[in-house]
Copies of this chain bind each other. A is one copy, B any other.
Amino acid sequence: MKPMGPIPPGFVAADDGSLAIAGRPVEAWVAEAGGTPLFLYDREAMAAKIAAFRAAMPDRVALHYAVKANPYDDLLSWLENRVDGFDLASAGELARVEAAGGLARPVSMAGPGKSDDDLSRALAAGVTVNLESEGEAARLVALAEACGTTPRVAVRVNPPFALKGAGMTMGGRASPFGIDAARVPALIRWLVERGADWRGLHVYAGSQILRAEVLVEAQRATVALAGEVAAAVGMPVRDLNLGGGFGIPYAAVDEPLDLAAVGAGLDETIRAAPDVLAETAYAIELGRWLVGEAGVYLARVVDVKESGGTTFAVTDGGLHHMLAATGNFGQTLRRNYPIANASRFSQVASEEVTVTGCLCTPIDLLGDAVMLPETRVGDLVAIFCAGAYGLSASPQAFLGQPAARERLV
């Protein structure tokens, strides 16, 4: 038996003993959607996260949604009047946010390889471009001059500090992301000279961070860095995007993030910030933390088989929809996501089962030697923590399998 991650709070059994999502048994959702595999995204779970953020964080800190985590249209539309802004990684995401009505709010675009098309569309939409290099700054200014508009820009800083305890770190070393801090003041002066509307800074130091003290320290260092940059250029920082990086527990070893501690730390940081940041508008961009635990991936068991003493439950889902759950999306070690027999959610886990996808490759492993109730052909399997970096981060065309369905519930 191998451990699995904790099932996120709020998931309970329906009267029939199956998993309920948004108050209805999973089979009802599958019937309504027309089949499996199916992603369900629970509005109440997201609303609870937003409320928790508002309660824990200082009022001055805006909540942005990082669209890269999940660009599903209905989810964006639902978030549109519940978050304070959107952060984008491409013109493709811009189009989705525009369709969801999100352009009325502050929107920024980051990414180390923005094309001229990305930059032009950002310009046309009035999006703040988080500049990642001097070369990109020059391209944007030239594009803006060619069409007679004033570019709205922030500078993304490659911070000189590193984070410990992050799932992925991006600071404290050579990086394709942002501009090394020492060169940032010169770039800002150049931008201002060229007539750009310089709004502030963007610092993203890491992702999937579960230790509050790591986030608190990163935010403290980021505010200090912003103060230094503002002093160097002699101008206030109007917008400071503190990045995101709030993690969620995926594996048995993971402890949930202590949000109250993060909020208290950030409150202290902001109160202690230098005068040059007195008018600064702070934002935190969250993707995974906001929507990850709200998503459930449902697949149906098409075969149960025994081999060499192991029981395999083979589903109609797989890594073509949930690559990250198989440990093949940046993880160095494969760990079991939380997984359940959704048809027998109230039953006691009584047998060790290895749950696989339907793909003809040994890496299509969804639950390795997990304890589940006795699992039969036709049962639904649920993989939790599927709301972020799920479908859009998976090789959907692989092996010509049918498309997954998605529903906001």
Q: Which residues of B contact A395 (CB under 8 A)?
A: 323, 392-396
List which A378-403 residues lie within 8 A (CB) of chain B. 391-402
A362 adjacent to chain B (CB < 8 Å): yes
List which A302-322 residues lie within 8 A (CB) of chain B. 302-310, 312, 314-316, 318
A91 adjacent to chain B (CB < 8 Å): yes
Which stretch from A2-10, A105-113, A245-253 is at the chain B interface?
Answer: A105-113
A89 pairs with B399, CB closer than 8 A? yes
A113 pairs with B329, CB closer than 8 A? no
Give the shortest distance, in Å, between A36 (CB) and chain B (any CB).
10
B401 pairs with A175, CB closer than 8 A? no
A113 pairs with B68, CB closer than 8 A? no
Interface residue range, chain A: 35 or more
A349 to B159, CA, bound (A): 31
B173 pairs with A308, CB closer than 8 A? yes
Q: Looking across the interface, which residue of chain B has its beta carbon closest to that of A116?
A: B302
A360 pairs with B89, CB closer than 8 A? yes
Which of the listed residues A91, A132, A392, A400 has the most CB atoms from chain B within 10 Å of its own CB? A400
Interchain CB contact (< 8 A) of A93 among B71, B110, B399: B399
A39 adjacent to chain B (CB < 8 Å): no
The 5 closest A-B pairs by CB, nearest first: A113-B358, A92-B400, A174-B308, A174-B310, A93-B400
Give the shortest distance, in Å, between A160 (CB) and chain B (any CB).
9
Q: Which residues of B contact A173 (CB under 8 A)?
A: 308
Given contacts A68-B399, A176-B307, A392-B395, 17 further A-B contacts (CB under 8 A): A89-B359, A91-B400, A110-B360, A112-B356, A112-B360, A113-B302, A113-B303, A113-B359, A115-B402, A117-B402, A174-B312, A176-B305, A177-B360, A393-B395, A394-B395, A395-B395, A396-B396
